[in-house]
Amino acid sequence: MANSPSVSLPAPSSTGTKAISISGGNKWLIATVLIVALLYYLIGVDEGAYSIFGKSMFIHEFVHDARHFLGFPCH
């Protein structure tokens, strides 16, 4: 029986990437979900009248065009 050819794997490249543990990944996932939920509230839900930030219409007016662009009705 002839010798089987050896398989050589490429050497790892030094691209600067690092592995993240499961618990570290969960922290990033939770932080991302919280930030996205806050942005969703500020752009899609905050109407000024029942805002958690008081009766100010500042947030509503600040994100008004983005709200319409994303398909959220506001008036």
Average pLDDT over residues 16-30: 81
Report the C-alpha gap between 10 and 4 in whole angstroms: 19
- The model's pTM is 0.52
The tens digit of pLDDT for each residue in 31-49 reads: 999 999 988 877 777 665 5
What pLDDT was estimated at residue 32?
95
Report the C-alpha gap between 27 and 22 in whole angstroms: 9
What pLDDT was estimated at residue 11?
65
52/20: higher pLDDT = 20
